[in-house]
Structure 1
Amino acid sequence: MEMSVKKALEEKILVLDGAMGTMIQAYKFEEEDYRGERFKEYAHPLKGNNDLLVLTQP
């Protein structure tokens, strides 16, 4: 199996999935962390929207 993974890596892009959400929770971000400056005045709660951190905490 190991050799087939190495061979595949040489030939194409592989996608790995893991427990990123759990790792993000360890940072204990608050509402303000999710908002950043860009969404400071947004009318709805954003805490827990981990995808948003790409924009507010790059």
Structure 2
Amino acid sequence: MKDIRSIAKSKVLVLDGAMGTMIQQYKLQEDDYRGVRFKDHHSDLKGNNDLLSITRPDIIEAIHKAYLEAGSDIIETNTF
């Protein structure tokens, strides 16, 4: 695997885009954020997008794949 610095010398690298905006398109509900692990958590979790890496990894993976398919060279983690 090449070092990112050497790749950047030969081409412009494209970074992925907004994660939050992509998540909003899924119109997720409270249960999506809770999953099994946080089912009984004492407060609302909807909007806590970091949790989706645990409760809905399928959505996070789909978003990352979409960015790669669109031509991104680099994708960031799902953290806010």
Q: Given the two structures, how large is their TM-score scaled by the length of structure 1?
A: 0.72
Q: Supply the distance in 1 between the matched residues of 2:9 and 2:28 (Cα, whole angstroms).
A: 35
1:39: Cα distance to partner?
0.2
Runs of at least 5 residues in structure 2 that lack an aligned partner in the other structure: 58-80
1:8: Cα distance to partner?
2.2
| Residue correspondences, number | 51
1:26: Cα distance to partner?
0.2
Letter in 2 for 1:40: K
Given the alignment of the two structures, is residue 43 of structure 1 paired with residue 26 of structure 2, yes or no?
Answer: no
Q: What pairs up with 1:1-58 in 2 under 5 angstroms?
A: 7-8=7-8, 16=15, 18-58=17-57
Which 4+ stretches in 1 moved above 3 angstroms? none
Change (3 A) 1:9 1:36: farther
Q: Given the two structures, how large is their TM-score scaled by the length of structure 2?
A: 0.54
Q: State the percentage of identical aligned residues.
A: 64
CA RMSD of superposed structures (Å): 2.8
Please tell me whether Structure 1 or Structure 2 has the larger radius of gyration of its CA atoms: 1
Runs of at least 5 residues in structure 1 that lack an aligned partner in the other structure: none
Return the structure number with greater relative CO, CA threshold 8 A, min gap 6.
2
